[in-house]
Structure 1
Amino acid sequence: MTDEKGSPAGAPDREQLLAALRPVAFGIAYRMLGSVTEAEDVVQEALLRVHRALESGEQLESPRAFTATVTTRLAMDELRSARVRRERYVGDWLPEPILTDGQGAGQDPAREAETADSLSMALLVLLESLSPEQRAVLLLHDVFGYGYGEVAAIVGKGEANVRQLAVRARRHVEDQRPRFTTTPEQQSELASRFFAAARTGDLAALESLLAHDVELVGDGGGKAPSLARSQHGRSRVAHTLTNWLRALSRLPEMEIRLTEVNGDPGATFLVEGRLLAVWALDIRGSQVAGVRAVVNPDKLVHLGPVGDANALIRRMGGVRPGS
């Protein structure tokens, strides 16, 4: 058995190679699936197949390309299965958040998936409307830099077909997500003002920071209190946010930590040291165009200890955030 350079490949070398390939696999799987849990399952299976190929003496011209191929195909299969589950999902579905500034526990996925615009929750939500093939082609070519010929080989389609898939997918994403140039410093400053206004209940200040068509989405998955449906409009969203923060401020030892969520400004909400929610902001220019609040405990467990929102509400006498 030999390694990429033709040298004998022993067990330690294979372990090092698999460790180096893990970020490649996770980067593809997470962006494809929007789920840390599902991505980790795909990564485990993909690396197992790479290991078996090496163990059997198979000559891998490019272990990285082999890993990308196996991971993409597994993720496409998982996505088709996941879509059935997501159609039955209670309320709005949001991706499982990752904290990309290194805060908190369970940050391996955050380190493995490079911080980039392709990680944003806004984009991952948009990708949900694409077919598995469109999503794979767009990510492999536009995000990971594979040529169309390489992408065609990975997804098992002709190059001309792959180019058409990419054009359609790119057009859909660009039409739905106008781009604005904002520096990280500007985003951080706007996020600080946003959370300060929301905490103090300053409606006028909060509304001035929101886009006129701002969208507020909450994902409780039927397991934590959340919005029944997304809300739109500056005034309505501002009132809901201040009501949420007013209710949350009544919880014991409630703490809001500004952080970076999927490469965008956001915050984690902790009560008595346990995570209750993660919010991500979609900033366009000088305004907040979207607020995405993940409160489904199943989507937060990879970040550390999670609090019981329903138990806290009972302790508050049944007052639910937003009521």
Structure 2
Amino acid sequence: MTDSSSGVEEYQRLRPLLFSIAYRMTGSVADAEDIVSEAFLRLHRAQADGIVIESMRSYLSTVVSRLSISHLRLARVRREHYFGTWLPEPVVDEESSASDLSDSLSLAFLVVLENLTPVERAVFLLHEVFDFDYPSIAEVVGKSEVNCRQIAARARRRVDARRPRFEAQPAKRATLAERFFAAVKTGDLEGLVDMLAADVVTYGDGGGRGPSLPKPVYGRDKVLRLLAVLSSAIQRFDLRLERATVNAQPGVLIRDASGDLLDVLSVDVVDGKVQTIHSILNPDKLGHLGPLAGPDHPLRRSTH
């Protein structure tokens, strides 16, 4: 049996993997943290009951995956009634040049995963992203190995049909993003024209708790008008744009004059153009990133 102290050490070593699984499953930092903590509690109870755990990685990954599947089944019902576009909670790395994280962490990719059932999502992620073998996955989801292979193939086809593309060279992503956010800050709309793909799309998640986009905004002209409004707000309210890596893509944290967070923006760059813009304004999804601007701020007031 694994003793308690070595179990804690192994849990801490595995914690980044467990969080990665839970976050990609749920799209929520807070829920992923809760799931990983619950997995540790279950580990502690199992050890206290004298249960022999041969593989800590297998045991904890199984618990986290099963908890994530249960959570996602409930969350999908809530999302059916969500106001406007639902986006995942952002994971932010303050080092804007960092590109170590896989594109499987991107907001666009996580949104694609929403089209899978909870079990399909677990099987797909465990095999395609985390390199679990099928016998291990079968134990996690409680299905046969053959069935898991079929589920994985079906999920892969659905994901591949909508899989987002990204600029292959991180340096090019970063360079274009630097120019893009500088143009947004200064209101250089002419400069923005050449940086936007003709079919660029903007997704905004305010959750009804700030200026929300009920539907995505498609096309260069409409997105330019939206960016003009953002640029005007930056000038009017003395907002600060702080460069960051958001879910492994270039982004910024938008803060008010006091330094409190208002919005998180990220851009997906494809073939030297900004293809997708994600804006997360819902304060329920930003609390893990530090102090937030209060509900009385003009850019926190609901517009629906």
TM-score, with normalisation over the residues of structure 2? 0.93
Offset at 1:203?
2.4
| TM-superposed deviation, 1:297 | 0.6
Deviation at 1:115, TM superposition (A): 2.1
Match of 1:286 in 2: 272
Contact 1:36 1:96 in 2 (8 A): yes
Determine if contact 1:281/1:290 at 8 Å carries over to the other structure. yes
Does the Cα contact within 8 Å between 1:199 and 1:242 map onto a contact in 2?
Answer: no
Q: How does 1:4-83 map to 2 (within 5 A)?
A: 9=3, 11-83=4-76
Contact in 2 for aligned 1:247/1:319 (Cα 8 Å): no
How many residue pairs get aligned? The number is 300
Distance 1:180 1:19, change over 3 A: closer
**AA of the residue aligned to 1:152:** A
- 1:1-323 to 2 correspondence within 5 Å? 2-3=1-2, 9=3, 11-101=4-94, 115-252=101-238, 254-271=239-256, 272-308=258-294, 310-313=295-298
- Residue 319 of structure 1 and its aligned partner are, at CA, apart by 12
The alignment yields a C-alpha RMSD, in angstroms, of 2.1
Q: Which amino acid aligns with 1:268?
A: L
Residue ranges of structure 2 left out of the alignment (5+ in a row): none
The CA deviation string for residues 239-281 of structure 1, in whole angstroms up to 9 with x for no partner, is 21121121132114x2101110011000000111100000111
Whether the 8 Å contact between 2:187 and 2:228 is mirrored in structure 1 is yes
Q: 1:215 to 1:228 in 2, by over 3 A?
A: same
Measured in 1, the distance between the counterparts of 2:302 and 2:80 equals: 30
The one-letter amino acid paired with 1:231 is: V
* Change in CA separation of 1:116 and 1:314 when aligned onto 2, cut-off 3 Å: closer
Structure 1 distance, partners of 2:205, 2:302, is 19
Structure 1: gaps of 5 or more residues: 4-8, 104-113
Contact 1:297 1:306 in 2 (8 A): yes
Task: Quote the Cα distance in structure 1 between the aligned partners of 2:286 and 2:145.
Answer: 39
SS of equivalent to 2:92: coil
Once the two structures are TM-superposed, the CA of residue 138 in structure 1 deviates from its matched residue by 0.8
Superposed CA deviations along residues 144-193 of structure 1, whole A, max 9, x for unmatched, are 00011211111111122211211121122222125355211111001011
Amino acid at match of 1:91: G
Q: Give the AA of the match of 1:66.
A: Y
Letter of the structure 2 residue corresponding to residue 24 of structure 1: L
SS in 1 for 2:93: coil
Q: Match of 1:110?
A: none
* Aligned residues of 1:251 and 1:312 also touching (Cα < 8 A): no
Query: Cα gap change, 1:147/1:243 in structure 2, threshold over 3 Å: closer, same or farther?
Result: same
Residues 285 and 40 of structure 1: is their aligned pair in 2 closer, same or farther, counting only changes over 3 Å?
same
Would you say the 8 A contact 1:92–1:219 is kept in 2?
A: yes
What CA deviation, in whole Å up to 9, does each residue of 1:45-93 have, x standing for no partner?
1111111112222111111011111110110000000111111111111
Q: Secondary structure at the match of 1:249?
A: helix
**Could you tell me the TM-score, scaled by structure 1's length?**
0.87
Kindly provide the amino acid, as one letter, of the partner of residue 14 in structure 1: G
- TM-aligned CA distance change 1:180 to 1:27, over 3 Å: closer
How many angstroms apart in 2 are the aligned matches of 1:62 and 1:162? 21
